[in-house]
């Protein structure tokens, strides 16, 4: 698949961290820099498989990050820079968020260029 918006993932099972959020109207530049830094950082996290992320003009966004195991999620959660970013998220960047951790059991994809 060539579209860089999609994560290239192995066959299930693996884990998904589904993070939905409403941005505050504050600090767009700081938020953007942090989001980019978190992508760099999680990409070096052992057990990280990939992520997909989008946000609409209304400030509502969904990021889904995929990991090999619960243990990899736990380690990412304990990363000190990630922990600091979460704290600043509550302080400045988000008005509301929901986080759900799920085990992916099956997956299916389709591409217009390779429909079969």
Which residues are near a copy of itself by CB under 8 A? Answer: 1, 3, 5-7, 12, 16, 18, 20, 22, 24, 52-58, 60-62, 64, 90, 94-112, 115
Measured from the CB atom, the residue of 23 and 42 that comes closer to a copy of itself is 23
Q: First CA to last CA across the chain, in angstroms?
A: 13
The torsion angles phi and psi of 20, rounded to 5 degrees, stand at -110, 140
Kindly state the smallest distance separating residue 40's Cβ from a copy of itself, in Å.
Answer: 20
Using the minimum distance from each CB to a copy of itself, give the nearer residue, 24 or 79: 24
- Residue 68, judged by CB atoms within 10 A of its CB (0-12, 13-18, 19+), counts as middle
Q: Are 84 and 75 in contact (CB under 8 A)?
A: no
Minimum distance of a copy of itself from residue 23's CB (angstroms): 11
């Amino acid at each position: 698949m060539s579209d860089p918006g999609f994560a290239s993932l192995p066959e299930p099972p693996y884990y998904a961290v589904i993070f939905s959020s409403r941005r505050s109207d504050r600090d767009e530049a700081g938020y953007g820099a942090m989001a980019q830094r978190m992508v760099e950082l999680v990409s070096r996290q052992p057990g990280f498989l990939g992520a997909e992320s989008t946000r609409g003009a209304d400030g509502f966004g969904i990021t889904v990050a995929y990991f090999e195991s619960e243990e990899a999620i736990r380690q990412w959660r304990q990363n000190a820079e990630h922990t600091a970013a979460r704290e600043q998220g509550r302080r400045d960047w988000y008005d509301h968020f929901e986080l759900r951790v799920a085990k992916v059991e099956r997956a299916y994809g389709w591409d217009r260029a390779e429909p079969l």
